[in-house]
Chains A and B, each alone.
Chain A
Amino acid sequence: MAEENKGITLTDEQKKKRRSRSVAIALVLAALVILFYVVTIIKLGPGVMDRAL
């Protein structure tokens, strides 16, 4: 027996808006990752790249 759909079914308009918001959130998260990486390098200095193997 198919599972009964009790939730809200989004309209096409809602799905479209959600997709654009999701893309924006993904871009912001990616920018934050890059930002924290760059700031880490700045705070630790170039020495972070120069370590004994």
Chain B
Amino acid sequence: MSLVERQDTIGQDSAVWDGGMGSVSDYVALLKPRVMSLVIFTAFVGLMLAPGSVHPVLGAVAILCIAIGAGASGALNMWYDADIDEVMLRTRKRPIPAGKITRDEALAFGITLSIGSVVTLGLLVNWFAGAFLAFTIFFYVIVYTMWLKRSTPQNIVIGGAAGAFPPMIGWAAVTGSVSLESFVLFGIIFMWTPPHFWALALVKNGDYTAAKVPMLPVVAGETSTRHHILAYAVLLAPVAIAPYLLGFASPVYGAASAVLSAIFVALSFDIWRKREGDAAKAACWRLFKFSIFYLFMLFALLLGESLVAGVLA
């Protein structure tokens, strides 16, 4: 009989306990694996682009810690937002609203992984990167989830910074500091996040209204949101091309990012132009889907160039 199996009674005050029903896959779902995959990819690009080198095992440890830290943020987000997730169709099947994991279990899981990922990154890689990861978790959970999300229609704009930090942490894992180049990587994701989410929010407006989340379309209206999407798309373009302009990406990246940004602006203009019915909805979906491809391509190009440069060197 193993130690963990020895005691089959828990607590003293109640005969019914609704916890303990989460399977391993439910806990994995708490980590928001799809968001985590983007975090892993962008952090890896930051790590590869940074000057200098890091032992491959330490690099892998850094990416693992950043991924677990992001997952912990996701778990804490689901702990706090369980009431919202229960109302919204998109999030109703998450482990807490589905009754598989209790809020307390998610809180304990999130805190444990947060501390574990920060301490491991600090001890094994460097403490600047560890502190940066701790700040990112704090920013996502406290600043975005607990404060901004329910209080301002600019929630995505400022909260988006949390999703933009991973490439900077990857960079910091190698150099022990941040630099202009890593700020540009941050800037690309930071400027990309609002139009990406607002395109989704326009389609899912009813969901956010029902959950009383003050997303821009709910508070300022759909017309204002369309103005914002177009403005951010135009502002995003120079930031996306900046790696070439600042000299740490090749003309190939410069040309590709210019073409991709032009398509991004064109699709945003399409949303701005089509305001009613199925055509409007289709335009939003087109930008939402393209925006994911757009960000992936920008970072994949930067990664490809750094790999080619490494081989040639």
Q: Which residues of A line the B interface, CB within 8 A?
A: 5-10, 13-15, 17-22, 24, 32, 35-36, 38-39, 42
Contacts and interface: CB of A to CB of B under 8 A. Distances in A.
A6 B12 CA distance: 6
B124 A20 contact: no
Interface in B101-145: 120, 124
Interface string B9-40: 11110111100111110010000000000000
B104 to A, nearest CB: 14
B27 A14 contact: no
Contact of A35 (B8, B24, B61): B61
A21 B9 contact: no
- Grouping DSSP codes into helix (H, G, I), strand (E, B) and loop, the A interface class, with mixed when no group exceeds half, is helix
B308 interface: no
Nearest to B15: A8
Contact of B10 (A10, A17, A36, A38): A10
Given A7-B11, A8-B14, A42 B23 contact: no
B20 A18 contact: yes
A22 B61 CA distance: 24
Given A35-B61, A39-B61, A10 B15 contact: no
A38 B27 CA distance: 27
B9 A9 contact: yes
A22 B301 CA distance: 42
Contacts of B22: 17, 21
A6 B4 CA distance: 19
Contact of B124 (A14, A18, A39): A39
B24 A20 contact: yes
B288 to A, nearest CB: 34
B70 to A, nearest CB: 17
A14 B16 CA distance: 12
Contact of B58 (A15, A21, A42): A42
Contact of B21 (A5, A14, A36): A14
Contacts of A13: 21
22 contacts: A5-B9, A6-B12, A8-B15, A8-B16, A8-B17, A9-B8, A9-B15, A10-B9, A13-B21, A14-B17, A14-B21, A17-B23, A19-B4, A21-B24, A22-B2, A24-B24, A32-B120, A35-B124, A39-B57, A39-B61, A42-B57, A42-B58
Given A8-B17, A13-B21, A42-B58, A19 B5 contact: yes
A9 B20 CA distance: 12
Given A13-B21, A35-B61, A39-B124, A8 B55 contact: no
Contacts of A38: 57
A7 B24 contact: no
Contacts of B23: 17, 20-21
B20 A14 contact: yes
Given A7-B10, A8-B9, A17 B57 contact: no
A11 to B, nearest CB: 9
A39 B27 CA distance: 27
